[in-house]
């Protein structure tokens, strides 16, 4: 067995958007006539232009193509992010950082993420008040008897809905869940499985039948093992039980906690009501330090200043009553509830020269982004059934008010993607016999067939019936290679 190795990362600061339900689909538009397929010679005359168009399609294809071939790709271990870096979609300060990576061999690489959230009242056994270390602290949060939030080991929050009056659940991007007493097991179609007991993570099983086990010292998780060998460990003070260091594949990071001011609103007055221990410093193996300074200035506005080696400090403040963000560096935020039938939280922010942008996601599946130049992007997605979380249409609006549909998608009743339109191209998908994979045909704006590809159940290219240029072939090869690593960011 290859021994684990670690890479320590001091700062990434990227956040990822949680998966949320979306809206129902409109009528299915007609598909290109099969009689309009070009001859081989006319096909050749179009392939140079098509190669350029297809290469432009790559970013969207890498994002949406997995929906057609894989209904969920398990844990991809990317750092969670939201629309505005450092702020979640409810308007709370949500600071994510990747502090290290453990290479466990055989292609299994596990990053270690940490998160501070201004709304989190719980305390991490390792990092203190308001913090979370999801690799060890992944857990199940019941919302009601038919709804669960599951914080995954990479930090993503997934939504699971009960299937009728049963012990089975349906989750994001093809995940399914099953309860058995106090135990909950979440399973992805591609082989990942996460097991919980009494709401706490116990085990992660990989598609290659390797097992990551979480070990506890009393109620506190202190170790992650791979195939019974530790790769992540927490060292606690033997007298106090307070964490003093973490070790990622042999690389030790010292931890220091300090007293974070507890600021509360009581009878309409903002008061300093006490202190809670929270992470204040990480010291890397080379001796450099990263600090997290929580303060309560005279006006009792809570704040956190992050100072990293050789980088500018980052100062974030939030409201003592709502716990929602007020400022992040040069950005000033306004968090409002626009009301209406579908609600949502409107996040607006201004930079110091008074330019503004905003983000709003409503319960009917509409997401609206307004950019600094006044242009907009509106995304419509599904909120119910097997299509929950899938994008159905994207519209852009220029700063002058001109609207354009830049993307549309059609699915069958089972949630299989059958048609997409983007950049003047039409992509048609179909299942291969006995569901042994999928196929894609791509047409240009004149309904001329540009290429045909067939993929295995795992998403690998198995057949092609065209001679597109090498650049275009690499597009599909890249998609094929990335399918196992891609996951919906519509959570």
pLDDT reading at 395 higher than 60: yes
Neighbours of 2 (CB within 10 A): 9
Q: Would you call 221 exposed, middle or buried from its count of C-beta atoms within 10 A (0-12, 13-18, 19+)?
A: buried
Q: Which of the two residues, 436 and 73, has the higher pLDDT score?
A: 436
Confidence of residue 450 (pLDDT cuts 50, 70, 90): confident
pLDDT confidence of residue 221: 97
Phi, psi of 267 (to 5 degrees): 55, 40
Q: Which residues pair with 293 in a beta bridge?
A: 305
Confidence of residue 478 (pLDDT cuts 50, 70, 90): very low
User: Average pLDDT in the 148-158 region?
Assistant: 96
- CA 154 → CA 77, 112, 149, 415, distances in Å? 5, 8, 14, 26
Confidence of residue 216 (pLDDT cuts 50, 70, 90): very high
Confidence of residue 369 (pLDDT cuts 50, 70, 90): very high
Neighbours of 45 (CB within 10 A): 11
Confidence of residue 73 (pLDDT cuts 50, 70, 90): low
pLDDT reading at 377 higher than 70: yes
What are the residue boundaries of the structural domains of the chain, listed by start?
5-485
HEC string for the chain: CCCCEEEECCCCCCCCCCCCCECCCCCCCCCCCHHHCCCHHHHHHHHHHHHHHHHHHHHHHHHHHHHHHCCCCCCCCCCCCCCECCECCCCEEEEEEEEEEEECCCCCEEEEEEEEECCCCCEECCCEECEECHHHHCEEEEEECCEEEEECCCCCEEEEEECCCCCEEECHHHCEEEEECCEEEEECCCCCEEEEECCEEEEEECCCCCEEEEEEECCEEEEEEECCEEEEEEEECCCCCCEEEEEECCEEEEEEEEEEEEEEEECCEEEEEEEEEEEEEEECCCCCEEEEEEECCCCCCCEEEEECCCCCCEEEEECCCCCEEEEECCEEEEEECCCCCCCCCEEEEECCCCCEEEEEECCCCEEEEECCCCCEEEEEEECCHHHCCCEEEEEEECCCCCEEEEEEEEECCCCCEEEEEECCEEEEEEECHHHCCEEEEEECCCCCEEEEEEECCCCCEEEECCCCCHHHHHHHHHHHHHHHHCCCCCC
pLDDT confidence of residue 474: 35
pLDDT reading at 139 higher than 90: yes
């Amino acid at each position: 067995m290859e021994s684990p190795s670690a890479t320590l990362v001091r700062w990434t600061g990227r956040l990822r958007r949680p998966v949320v339900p979306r809206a129902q689909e409109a009528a299915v538009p007609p598909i290109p006539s099969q009689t309009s397929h070009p001859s081989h010679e006319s096909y050749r005359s179009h392939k140079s232009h098509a190669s350029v168009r297809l290469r432009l399609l790559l970013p969207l294809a890498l994002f949406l193509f997995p929906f057609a071939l894989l209904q969920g790709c398990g844990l991809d271990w990317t750092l969670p992010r939201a629309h505005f870096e450092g702020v979640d979609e409810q308007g709370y300060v949500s600071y994510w950082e990747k502090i290290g990576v453990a290479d466990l061999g055989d292609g299994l690489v596990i990053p270690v993420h940490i998160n501070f959230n201004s709304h989190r009242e719980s305390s991490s056994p390792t990092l203190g008040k308001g913090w979370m270390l999801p690799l060890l602290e992944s857990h199940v949060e019941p919302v009601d008897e038919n709804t669960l939030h599951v914080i995954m080991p990479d930090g993503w929050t997934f939504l699971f809905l009960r299937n009728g009056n049963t012990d089975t659940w349906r989750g994001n991007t093809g995940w399914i869940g099953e309860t058995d007493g106090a135990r909950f097991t979440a399973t992805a179609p591609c082989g990942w499985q996460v097991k919980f007991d009494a709401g706490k993570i116990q085990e992660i099983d990989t598609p290659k039948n390797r097992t990551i086990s979480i070990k506890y010292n009393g109620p506190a998780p202190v170790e992650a093992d791979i195939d019974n060998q530790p790769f992540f460990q927490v060292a606690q003070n033997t007298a106090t039980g307070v964490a003093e260091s973490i070790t990622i594949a042999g690389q030790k990071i010292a931890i220091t906690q300090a007293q974070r001011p507890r600021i509360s609103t009581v009878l309409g007055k903002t008061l300093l009501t006490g202190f809670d221990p929270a992470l204040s410093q990480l010291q890397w193996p080379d001796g450099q330090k990263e600090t997290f300074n929580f303060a309560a200035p005279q006006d009792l506005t809570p704040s956190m200043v992050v100072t990293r080696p050789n980088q500018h400090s980052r100062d974030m403040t939030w409201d003592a009553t709502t716990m929602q963000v007020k400022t992040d560096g040069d950005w000033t935020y306004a968090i409002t509830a626009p009301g209406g039938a579908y609600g949502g939280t409107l996040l607006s922010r201004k930079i110091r020269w008074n330019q503004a942008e905003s983000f709003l996601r409503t319960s009917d599946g509409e997401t609206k982004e307004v950019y600094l130049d006044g242009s907009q992007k509106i995304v419509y997605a599904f909120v119910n059934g097997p299509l929950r979380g899938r994008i159905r249409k994207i519209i852009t609006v220029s700063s002058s008010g001109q609207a354009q549909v830049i993307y549309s998608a059609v699915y069958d009743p089972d949630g299989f993607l059958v048609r997409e339109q983007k950049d003047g191209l039409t992509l048609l998908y179909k299942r291969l016999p006995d569901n042994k994979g999928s196929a894609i045909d791509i047409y240009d704006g004149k309904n001329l067939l540009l290429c045909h590809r067939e993929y295995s159940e795992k998403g690998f290219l198995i057949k092609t019936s065209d001679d597109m240029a090498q650049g275009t072939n690499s597009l599909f090869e890249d998609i094929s290679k990335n399918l196992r690593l891609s996951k919906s960011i519509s959570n």
